[in-house]
A and B are shown apart, each in its own frame.
Chain A
C-alpha cells in the first residue's frame, strides 16, 4: 500500500458514520483496504462491503493479492458480507439494514461497514435519493456497533456530491488520516427539510 492510508487509524466512535475525502481511486482503495484490514485483524469484528455491483469483490480480491490472506472462509461463514446498491433507494436501504441486523444477531463486537459511494450512476439511486439514503444510514446506525466509512472521490465527484453528501450527511469526516467531528453535518431529522427540499436540480450538473 502507499503512504496514503493512515499509519495509525484514528479511534472511530461506535457507532459512527464518517465520510472519507479521498483524492482519486488509488487513495480510496488504499484507505479502504487499510480500514478493512484493521477489522480483519480482530476475530470478533465483521466486515460489510457495500457499493455498486462488483466493487466489494474487487476490494477483497485486491486485499487477498496484497496480503496473501485467504478470505473465502470468512466470506462463507458470514463474517464478510458483500452488499449491493440498487437504483431503488428504499431497496438499497434494505440491502444495508438486513445484513447489519444479521451481524447484530451473530453477536459481532464491531461491524466495519465500507460504503463505496457513486453519484448519478445507473445502478445507484439518483443523486437526491442517494443523499436521503446517506442521511438515513446515520439514523440506521444509531445504537448499533457499526463503524461506517463512505469514501468520496474529491478528484472526480462533482462539488455538490462532496458538499451535500460527504460534508452535510456525515457526522464525521476522515481526511489526511485525521478524523474530525463535522460542523457542517445536518442531522437526519433535519436533512430532508433543510437540505433535500431545497436542492437545485441535481441532474443539471454534468458528471464525469
Chain B
C-alpha cells in the first residue's frame, strides 16, 4: 500500500485525562475529524504477518499531543517542539491528515487504522498503536502492528511511525539480530555443545535459569554458564536475541 509522502512522519500521541493532569497546551489546536466510522474494527488487534515486515531500520521520535474529549488535538510535548523544524513532519492537522490518508486506501488494514483513529476521536477507544516500516524512496509503507484498547472514553493514544529503511530481510524480522562479524548464525549453533543445545531449547520455551536447572537436574550456576555461552556463540547481545536467532534458524520449534 502506498500512503504517499504526506505520511512520512513519526507521530506519537499520548494521554490526557487518563492521567487527570493539566498539560500546558501549545498553539496547534486541531479540530477533530467528524468521521463516524464504526469503532468495532478498532477494538480488534491486528498483527501484521511476515509479509508486512517488522523491521525498524530507522525511526524518529514523534510529537506528543493531547486529544480532548471533543476530539481536539493539542500538541504539548517538548519532543514535538524539538522536531518542529524537520521537513518530514506534517504541517497540517495531524488527526485529519492521518484519517484522510488512511481512508483513501481500500486496503482493509488501512481502513482499520482509520477506524481506530476515529474510535479514539469518538471516545470509544483509549489507546492504539501503529507501527510502520516505510521505504522513503518508493513511498511504500508497511503496516506492522495495530493494537487498540477500548476504554472509558478517554485516554491514551500512541502512534509510532517508523520512517526510512529498505525491504525487510528475514534477519530484520527478528529482534536485535545484528551482524556477527562474518560468522553466520548457522555456524553459531553448530558450535553449541549438546548440553548447550538442551539449554537453548529450554530458553526458547521461556524458562528462566532456575527452572532450566530444575528441569535438567543441574546447578543454577552451571546453567548460567551455559546460557552465557549460548548467547556468546550465537553472536547475540541478549538472552532474547539468542532465542530469536534459534527460532529464526529453525533450531527450535515455536512454543
Does B105 sit at the interface, judged by CB under 8 A?
Answer: no
- Are A128 and B241 in contact, with the CB atoms below 8 A? yes
- Are A202 and B129 in contact, with the CB atoms below 8 A? no
Known: A163-B129, A189-B206. A90 touches B224 (CB 8 A): yes
Determine the distance from Cα of A136 to Cα of B205 in the docked complex, in whole angstroms: 12
Query: A40 to chain B: closest CB distance in Å?
Result: 25
Partner of A159, one of B160, B210, B237, B238: B160
Determine the distance from Cα of A192 to Cα of B247 in the docked complex, in whole angstroms: 12
> Which B residues are CB-close (under 8 A) to A131?
240
Residue of B nearest to A160 (CB): B160
- Given contact pairs A154-B19, A202-B175, A204-B56, a sample of 10 additional A-B residue pairs in the complex whose CB atoms are under 8 Å apart: A22-B19, A27-B21, A163-B158, A167-B149, A176-B17, A176-B20, A196-B240, A200-B55, A204-B57, A206-B60
Determine the distance from Cα of A126 to Cα of B244 in the docked complex, in whole angstroms: 14
How does the 8 Å CB contact mask read for B13-51 relative to A, with 1 for contact and 0 for none? 011011111010000000000000000000000010000
Does A132 sit at the interface, judged by CB under 8 A?
Answer: yes
> Which A residues are CB-close (under 8 A) to B47?
198
The 5 closest A-B pairs by CB, nearest first: A176-B20, A200-B56, A128-B240, A192-B206, A199-B175
Does A4 sit at the interface, judged by CB under 8 A?
Answer: yes
Does A158 sit at the interface, judged by CB under 8 A?
Answer: yes
Partner of B150, one of A23, A183, A191: A183
How does the 8 Å CB contact mask read for A175-208 relative to B, with 1 for contact and 0 for none? 1110000011000110111001111111111101
- Are A188 and B206 in contact, with the CB atoms below 8 A? yes
Query: B25 to chain A: closest CB distance in Å?
Result: 14
Residues from 91 to 105 in A contacting B, C-beta threshold 8 Å: 91, 93-94, 97
- Are A200 and B175 in contact, with the CB atoms below 8 A? yes
Residues from 200 to 255 in B contacting A, C-beta threshold 8 Å: 205-206, 208-210, 224, 227, 237-241, 243-244, 247, 254-255
- Are B227 and A176 in contact, with the CB atoms below 8 A? no
> Which B residues are CB-close (under 8 A) to A126?
176, 237-238, 240-241
List chain B positions with a Cβ less than 8 A from chain A: 12, 14-15, 17-21, 23, 47, 54-62, 64, 77, 127, 129, 131, 133, 144, 147, 149-150, 156, 158-160, 162, 172-177, 205-206, 208-210, 224, 227, 237-241, 243-244, 247, 254-255
Does A125 sit at the interface, judged by CB under 8 A?
Answer: yes
Residue of B nearest to A194 (CB): B47
> Which B residues are CB-close (under 8 A) to A129?
238-240
Q: List 30 A-B contacts (CB under 8 A).
A: A89-B238, A90-B224, A90-B239, A91-B224, A94-B209, A97-B210, A126-B237, A126-B240, A126-B241, A128-B240, A132-B239, A154-B15, A154-B19, A159-B12, A159-B14, A160-B160, A163-B129, A177-B20, A193-B206, A198-B47, A198-B54, A199-B175, A200-B56, A200-B133, A200-B144, A203-B176, A204-B56, A204-B59, A205-B56, A206-B59
List chain A positions with a Cβ less than 8 A from chain B: 4, 21-23, 27, 89-91, 93-94, 97, 125-126, 128-129, 131-132, 136, 154-155, 158-160, 162-163, 167, 175-177, 183-184, 188-189, 191-193, 196-206, 208
- Are A200 and B238 in contact, with the CB atoms below 8 A? no
> Which B residues are CB-close (under 8 A) to A162?
14, 158
Residue of A nearest to B155 (CB): A175
